Homo-oligomer: A and B are copies of this chain.
Amino acid sequence: MSTEPLLSWLQMAVETGAMLAFALSGLLEAARKRLDAVGICVVAGLTAFGGGTMRDLLLDRRPFFWAAHPGWLWGLIALTTAAIVFLKFRHFALTERAMQWPDALGLGLFSASGAQFALDQNLPGIVCVLMGVVAATVGGVLRDVVCNEIPTGLRDHRPYAVCAFAGGWVVVLASQAGASHDVALMLAAATASGLRILALVTDYTLPQWTSGAAPDD
């Protein structure tokens, strides 16, 4: 197919940007919590690779993507070293805001490819969607658990997992409708990323638990 080189170049660019966004979000939280250099590197790595690793564990895919492409591990070490040397604390908030956009692209990419990997194993639709959600969200959950916080993604009332959920269904339904692999992936990634960007731009929040009084019974 003539679109393949462009596609794979695009995918690599998005993947690199997404990994960078994930790793930086872990790095910033670890630095805020005053972890040491090892802790910063570990939390950055957990955030960047945790979701994909959990997806591969659950789907029994070996070698893991970071074992097949060890360049990611070297990149992580280089990023952490550079951040400790060059990044100032006063740039943290700015960095975090700038990272929202590659992070949204990563959300699309990981939810689409996670669902596709499960679909390749002929798993049921809802399970494929769940794998996309796992790949997109588990890194952030592990980051917050290790930093001793309730995971942001489970309490900030912002749609994140929900966008991954929608993207996963696009993969499943497009495949059932006979779309090619690449088309299904692109539609799904665009849906998940688009919804996330829309939510960021419009400052949308999820509906809240409305029933009854305070929860301290």
Q: Choose among B60, B70, B206, B212 the residue that contacts A90 (Cβ–Cβ < 8 A).
A: B212
Residue-wise, chain A 85-96 has the 8 Å CB interface mask toward B (1 for contact) of: 111111111000
**Stretch in A16-24, A104-112, A143-151 with 4+ CB within 8 Å of B:** A143-151
Could you say which of B145, B154, B212, B213 contacts A35, with CB atoms under 8 Å apart?
B154
Which one of B74, B88, B214 contacts A126 once the chains associate, using CB atoms below 8 Å? B74
The docked-state distance in angstroms from the alpha carbon of A57 to that of B37 is: 26
A127-B64 Cα distance, complex, nearest whole Å: 10
Which A residues fall within an 8 A CB radius of B? 30-40, 42-43, 53, 57-58, 60, 62-64, 66-67, 70, 73-74, 84-93, 123-127, 130, 141, 145-151, 153-157, 159-162, 206-217
B145→A146 contact, CB < 8 A: yes
Beyond A74-B126, A148-B150, whether A36 also contacts B208 by CB under 8 A is yes
Copies of this chain, complex-wide, total 3
Q: In the bound complex, how far is the Cα of B13 from the Cα of A185, in angstroms?
A: 40
- CB–CB A36/B155 < 8 A: yes
By a CB distance below 8 angstroms, the chain B residues around A93 are 217
Q: Give bound CA distance, A36 to B209, whole Å.
A: 8
User: Are A39 and B213 in contact, with the CB atoms below 8 A?
Assistant: no
A123 to B, closest residue via Cβ: B67
Nearest residue, chain B, Cβ from A67:
B127
The contact of A88 among B31, B84, B212, by CB within 8 Å, is B212
